[in-house]
A and B are shown apart, each in its own frame.
Chain A
Amino acid sequence: MMDCAQYRRSMMADPHDPDPRLREHRESCHDCTLYSERLLRFESRLERALRVGPASEVAASSDNVVPLRAGSSRTGLRSTAYRKRMLAMAASVLMALVVGGGLWLSAPGASLAADVVSHMRGEPEAWRRTDVPVPNPKLDNVLRDSHLRLAAGGGAGMVSYANSCGFRGYQVPHLVLQTDAGPVTVMVLVHERSPKPVQFDEQGYRGVIVPVPGHGSLAVLTRGSATDMETIEHIAHRVLDSIIWTG
């Protein structure tokens, strides 16, 4: 049986460690439950501090993989040769993007699903199976900017991950719910209208994008092929039922 010192050392090293021995100890020790709550509040603050970083600038320039700042007043470390190399490479990248981008945009429905999948692939950490809920202040922060909140005791499942992610030029809530079918990712895409429900199954991700009248659309994904489409749609509707729009 784990003692308090061992438990706290483990929590200090990884507060989201899903080890069942940690959960067992936490459930049997009032002091360590209090300690965990404090530590998770600290962790939430740490996460926000790390995320803010250069985010505002990043968000502004996230449409450009290789942003060109010909008129930048910043006197950085770049040499003239470096800049020339950058410009040459950027020109070739830009050419590829113009051609590739045109093709990409020619299929908007498929493109939205592909972008959602692409985003998921960039955040594999979000798929962790865990019994540790995301702290409420963190969840509230993530949802607030999109003018929504989740009903208390939300029927869709425990939210274990919440992040405000840059997606197609907007910050959108990216949540992971722990459901009977395993971790399920939800993206609330208030800026993306979808005229009809879209199902997709590609690159190891299966999911749906459902229209939300007046509030864009909602993407729900599972990883792998263990969950059937009907279950995913059912989860999507449970999530929609638990959303309270505040604006």
Chain B
Amino acid sequence: MKDEIGGNQKRARFQALCQSLRPDLLRFAFWLSRDRALAEDVVQETMLRAWKAQDSLQDEAAAKPWFLTIIRREYARCFERKRFVTVDVDELVAREEPMLAAAEEQNLAEMRAALFKLPDEYREPLVLQVLMGFSTAEIARELDLSSAAVLTRLFRARKQLRVLCGEDTSMDPQE
């Protein structure tokens, strides 16, 4: 009986953890895939896998990277299972237009359109840093890169974004 209550409390705790992380996980999956429907599928599948593997999460403080790793693997599995049709970025932006424009000013929509145009290798570390709050070392670990490579990608990501957004780049440094 005691074990049952302990198990239930543990599950409830895990549920609360999933609930608190889900919004950011969904955002991460969205920016990874640039597709809302796919992001939802990936997060759903991630939650199920996480639920089954919850005993392997020893430290709740490491929950976010743990979930992100599952998301990245799950996203990669989608590519193994499906053959995706490549689409033009402008078409992609147009498809997500209702969400992009939702109650936000135009410049945010422009920024998101620019993010859509960033190469995956630049967008992913940027999302990990800005949205998920990862340190350079954590991003390096997650993406299996050196810290120097991560910093270079982050630098290039912002540089490209600033150009795409029409920012004044006259004071920006050269690489």
Residues of A within 8 A of B (CB): 4-5, 8-9, 12-14, 31, 34-35, 38, 42-43, 45-59, 62-63, 65-67, 74, 76-78, 86, 89, 93, 96-97, 99-101, 103-104, 114-115, 118-119, 121-126, 128, 165-167, 203-204
Contact = CB atoms under 8 A, between A and B. Distances in A.
Contacts, number: 179
Contact of B61 (A38, A97, A124): A124
Residue among B8, B132, B168 with the highest chain A CB neighbour number at 10 A: B8
B48 A86 contact: yes
A5 to B, nearest CB: 5
Nearest to A85: B48
Contact of B20 (A34, A52, A67, A122): A122
A46 B111 contact: yes
Interface residues of B, number: 71
Contacts of B8: 96, 99-100, 103
9 contacts: A5-B173, A9-B173, A13-B136, A49-B111, A51-B131, A52-B102, A53-B31, A54-B40, A76-B37
Interface in B12-67: 12-13, 15-24, 26-27, 30-31, 36-41, 44, 47-48, 51, 60-61, 63-64
Given A66-B44, A76-B41, A89-B51, A118 B31 contact: no
B96 to A, nearest CB: 9
B108 interface: yes
A53 B5 CA distance: 38
Given A49-B115, A103-B9, A118-B13, A62 B22 contact: yes
B117 interface: no
Nearest to B84: A77
Contact of A13 (B26, B82, B154): B154
A54 B27 contact: yes
B86 interface: no
Contacts of B24: 122
B38 to A, nearest CB: 6
A50 B115 contact: yes
Contacts of B12: 97, 100-101, 103-104
B80 to A, nearest CB: 13
Interface of B: 5, 8-9, 11-13, 15-24, 26-27, 30-31, 36-41, 44, 47-48, 51, 60-61, 63-64, 78, 82, 99, 102-104, 107-108, 111-112, 115, 126-127, 129-136, 151-152, 154-155, 158-159, 161-162, 165, 167-168, 171-175
Contacts of A47: 130-131
A42 B18 CA distance: 31
A100 B51 contact: no
Contacts of B48: 66, 86, 89, 93
Given A48-B104, A54-B39, A96-B11, 4 more contacts: A38-B171, A50-B131, A118-B16, A119-B20
B128 to A, nearest CB: 10
A163 to B, nearest CB: 9
Contacts of B127: 50
Nearest to A61: B22
A56 B102 contact: yes
B131 A126 contact: no
Contacts of B27: 50-51, 53-55, 58
Contacts of A56: 102-103
B30 A8 contact: no
B171 A93 contact: no
